[in-house]
């Protein structure tokens, strides 16, 4: 009889100890609210995380056997950068003997996310294994699996996690996971392309060839690979056939394309491509300057000036971006035309860099997945303001 009760006694002691630990860990008590849990959620939704944490701490003190307030408090702690304390809280919940199985899965996923935030990849993997059979229908589980494998630098398995999820999760969750899978594989293929590694690039492109959303970026990757390998004709053909309606992708290709065409003495062949691209309203200013430079090098001064004047309302078309063109004008044409161009340009900026909008991580190339914060499609070409340190 005593032996049969022992596990329950041990569980009760552990829960009591965890509750006491929380009491001590969360510091002194504030004035108690009569119903702090909904107040905490309201504050959270309003973005007042400090008040939300205060109310949720009160809620777990008032109801130490509750589940939802504990889960939300742990998630909020992790969100506020205290994943260590969140892990302690969630791990304490896993030993509750009376916790329903569905809630045990919720707690396991929350604990795994705490461990991922702490970069404890193996511990996160072990925790996810404990809930795998029942959590496989949840998008949250597959996002955690992806982060775990990527953190362990097992990129093939990270990609497979995203792809497997598409057959397991509810239909409403599939578009985001599918977009992540495409972006991840294309980002990997782009890295291989720029390294001249066709054997690494091609399989990743095949992985996404059945997805219409991957078509334009796949063409960009192939064009970049051709440019890096010195195949000017193939790079130019792909740019002209596949990227004219996608000026942002074309802007990524142009520096590589012009380099290989210049080396082969064929740089003038990019003029028709650039002219078509620059007709687009959203054409990047870098393409405008590239075209103006080609006009100038070929002695087509009138077209140079007309092009700059046609884009004079573009605030991103700045003197520092146009520095190569201005240098040519000052050197070859005296000051009159150079001054005319300068007056068409906006306020000076410094550099264009690829920067993650989520975590501000910099890259010297376009990325469709941020290895620092795990965001997808977050990198943008950004012009830094004068004096800003990129």
Tokens, residue 195? 């390294």
Report the alpha-carbon distance of residue 3 to residue 158 in Å, rounded: 45
Tokens, residue 323? 């520095």
Position 33 scores a pLDDT of 66
Half-sphere exposure of 326 (CA within 13 A, CB side): 14
Scanning the chain, the segments in alpha helix (DSSP H) are 2-25, 36-45, 49-62, 68-79, 83-93, 101-117, 121-135, 139-151, 155-165, 174-194, 198-208, 215-228, 232-242, 247-263, 270-278, 285-297, 301-310, 323-333, 335-344
Position 349 scores a pLDDT of 39
pLDDT in tens, the chain (390 residues): 434 444 443 444 344 445 444 444 444 455 566 789 999 999 999 999 999 999 999 999 998 888 899 999 999 999 999 999 999 999 999 888 888 888 999 999 999 999 999 999 999 999 999 999 999 999 999 999 999 999 999 999 999 999 999 999 999 999 999 999 999 999 999 999 999 999 999 999 999 999 999 999 999 999 999 999 988 888 878 887 888 788 788 888 877 877 777 676 666 777 777 777 777 766 777 778 878 877 877 778 888 888 888 877 776 677 767 777 777 776 665 555 655 555 555 444 344 578 999 999 999 888 999 999 999 999 987 654 444 443
Closest CA to 21 of 97, 103, 94, 85: 85
DSSP structural state of residue 210: T
- Tokens 């604990």 correspond to 111
Report the DSSP pairing between strands 379-385 and 362-363: unpaired
φ and ψ at residue 350, rounded to 5 degrees: -105, -70
Instruction: Using DSSP, state whether 103 is helix, strand or coil.
Output: helix
Q: Are 332 and 161 in contact (CB under 8 A)?
A: no
Tokens, residue 352? 């264009």
Instruction: Using DSSP, state whether 267 is helix, strand or coil.
Output: helix
- Tokens 């097992």 correspond to 154
Position 344 scores a pLDDT of 52
Report the alpha-carbon distance of residue 348 to residue 93 in Å, rounded: 56
Instruction: Using DSSP, state whether 349 is helix, strand or coil.
Output: strand
Angle between helices 139-151 and 174-194 (to 10 degrees): 20
Instruction: Encode burial over 127-142: b for 16+ CB neighbours within 10 A, e otherwise.
Output: bbeebeeebeebbbbb
Position 312 scores a pLDDT of 73
Position 252 scores a pLDDT of 85
Report the alpha-carbon distance of residue 369 to residue 13 in Å, rounded: 46
> CB neighbours of 206 closer than 8 A, spacing ≥ 6?
none
Tokens, residue 91? 């791990």
Q: Are 287 and 317 in contact (CB under 8 A)?
A: no
Closest CA to 163 of 150, 181, 145, 179: 181
- How many other C-beta atoms are found inside a 10 Å radius of the C-beta of residue 52? 23
- How many other C-beta atoms are found inside a 10 Å radius of the C-beta of residue 259? 16
> CB neighbours of 351 closer than 8 A, spacing ≥ 6?
320, 383, 384, 390
Report the alpha-carbon distance of residue 286 to residue 298 in Å, rounded: 19
- Tokens 């991103």 correspond to 316
């Amino acid at each position: 009889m005593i032996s049969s009760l022992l596990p329950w006694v041990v569980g009760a002691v552990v829960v009591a100890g965890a509750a006491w630990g929380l009491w001590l860990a969360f510091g002194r008590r504030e004035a108690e609210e009569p119903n702090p849990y909904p107040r905490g959620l309201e504050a959270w939704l309003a973005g007042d995380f400090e008040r939300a944490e205060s109310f949720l701490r009160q809620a777990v003190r008032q109801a130490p056997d509750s589940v939802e307030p504990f889960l939300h408090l742990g998630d909020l702690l992790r969100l506020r950068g205290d994943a260590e304390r969140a892990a302690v809280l969630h791990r304490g919940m896993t030993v509750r003997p009376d916790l329903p199985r569905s809630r045990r899965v919720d707690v396991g996923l929350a604990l795994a996310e705490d461990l991922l935030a702490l970069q404890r990849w193996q511990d996160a993997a072990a925790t996810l294994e404990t809930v795998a059979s029942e959590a496989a229908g949840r998008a949250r589980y597959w996002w955690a699996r992806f982060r775990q494998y990527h953190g362990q630098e097992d990129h093939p398995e990270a990609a497979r996690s995203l792809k497997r999820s598409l057959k397991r999760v509810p239909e409403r969750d599939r578009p985001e996971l599918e977009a992540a899978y495409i972006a991840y594989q294309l980002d990997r293929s782009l890295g291989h392309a720029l390294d001249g590694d066709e054997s690494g690039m091609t399989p990743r492109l095949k992985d996404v060839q059945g997805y219409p959303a991957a078509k334009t970026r796949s063409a960009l990757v192939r064009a970049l690979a051709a440019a890096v390998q010195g195949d000017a004709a193939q790079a130019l053909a792909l740019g002209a056939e596949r990227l004219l309606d996608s000026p942002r992708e074309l802007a990524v290709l142009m520096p590589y394309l012009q380099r290989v065409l210049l080396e082969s003495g064929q740089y003038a062949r990019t003029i028709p491509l650039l002219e078509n691209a620059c007709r687009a309203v959203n054409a990047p200013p870098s393409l405008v300057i590239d075209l103006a430079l080609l006009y100038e090098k070929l002695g087509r001064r009138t077209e140079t000036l007309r092009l700059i004047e046609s884009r004079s309302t573009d605030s991103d078309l700045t003197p520092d971006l146009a520095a190569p063109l201005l240098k040519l004008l000052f050197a070859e044409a005296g000051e009159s035309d150079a001054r005319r161009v300068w007056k068409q340009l906006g306020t000076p900026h410094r550099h264009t860099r690829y920067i993650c909008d989520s975590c501000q991580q910099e890259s010297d190339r376009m990325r469709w997945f941020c290895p620092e914060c795990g965001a997808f499609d977050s990198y943008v070409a950004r012009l830094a303001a004068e004096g800003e340190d990129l």
